[in-house]
Amino acid sequence: MSVIITDEILTKIRMTEAEMHQEIAVMLFQKEKFTLAQASRFANMHRIAFQHLLASRRIPVHYGVEDFEQDIKNLREMGRL
């Protein structure tokens, strides 16, 4: 499924495309629909930067088994484990 948000809408709400992605990522993370890894990827941000974004909004980071497993997978793919 694709959702199209036009430049006109972004201009009207005074957001960039990147900011819209961040807002969606934060919302889905808060609702526990995205893991930390998924949300940071969707927001096109390094996970630490995304965690700082969450912290600036006083949103607690829930780090579960799925996040841990994704971290292990990523480290293996990068040859660091």
CA separation, residue 22 to residues 17, 62, 65 (Å): 9, 17, 23
Q: Which residue has the higher pLDDT, 32 or 80?
A: 32
Q: What are phi and psi of 77, to 5 degrees?
A: -65, -30
Q: Where are the domains of the chain?
A: 7-77
The stretch 62-78 carries a mean pLDDT of 82
Q: Is the pLDDT of residue 69 over 90?
A: no
Q: What is the pLDDT of residue 68?
A: 83
pTM for this model (two decimals): 0.73
Q: What is the pLDDT of residue 64?
A: 74
Q: Which residue has the higher pLDDT, 68 or 53?
A: 53
Alpha-carbon distance of 58 to 62, in angstroms, equals 12
Residue 15 pLDDT level (bands cut at 50, 70, 90): very high
Tokens 């006109």, residue located: 8
